[in-house]
Amino acid sequence: MVFQIVAATILLVFYGCYFIKMISQRQKGIQTDQIGKGKVGYAKYIEIIMKIATYMVPVVEVVSIVRNKDFFSVPVRVLGAAIAVIGVGVFIISVLTMQDSWRAGVSNTDQTELVTKGIYQISRNPAFLGFDLMYIGMALMFFNGLLLIVSVWAMVMFHLQIRFVEEVFLLETFGEAYLNYKNKVCRYIGRRR
């Protein structure tokens, strides 16, 4: 029961942050959800498949929480809870740091700035890192085959979106400034010398 309460709280805080940010931006006239919009070909395909995967994960997580099967030992489940909490923290910090430049997907029409401060000094993609950590943590708490499959699928789609949509967009939009940033900060975590 304790793991169910912890996991439900994690999901509420994580997705609460996501939707509160979207509502806040909508009130300012900003369309946050740009997934698949204004794109063609491979970029559109990646973003649409990513969106489907990210909708499936919380559904499977909720079912897994309700079922509450304890595949792993208590210490592993506690580790999972800790990883998920860290993921939520990383995600919230990344969203707050991005301010109104934050989007789900890239926007070819909105004018945003290249954010390189705060948590973005140690990760070029901390929001995706937060998602990944939360998914890993939830899988350790409530492991089952379906949860593993949809979580890994979503994480792979995030990576493809970063590599083949977001990084291309950022290079086209910010040019040399993005290249300098990319050469200093790793995709997920760490700085280069």
- pLDDT tens by residue, 125-157: 999 999 999 999 999 999 999 999 999 999 999
pLDDT value, residue 103: 62
pLDDT value, residue 42: 84
User: What domains sit in the chain, N to C, each tagged with a CATH number?
Assistant: 2-26+33-105+113-184 (1.20.120.1630)
Burial class (CB in 10 A: 0-12, 13-18, 19+), 64: buried
- 35-59 pLDDT, tens digit per residue, is 666 667 887 889 889 889 999 999 9
CA gap 60, 141 in Å, rounded: 13
What global pTM score does this model have?
Answer: 0.90
pLDDT value, residue 2: 92
pLDDT value, residue 23: 83
Q: Which of 24, 143, 35 is nearest to 84 (CA)?
A: 143
For 114-129, what is the mean pLDDT? Answer: 93
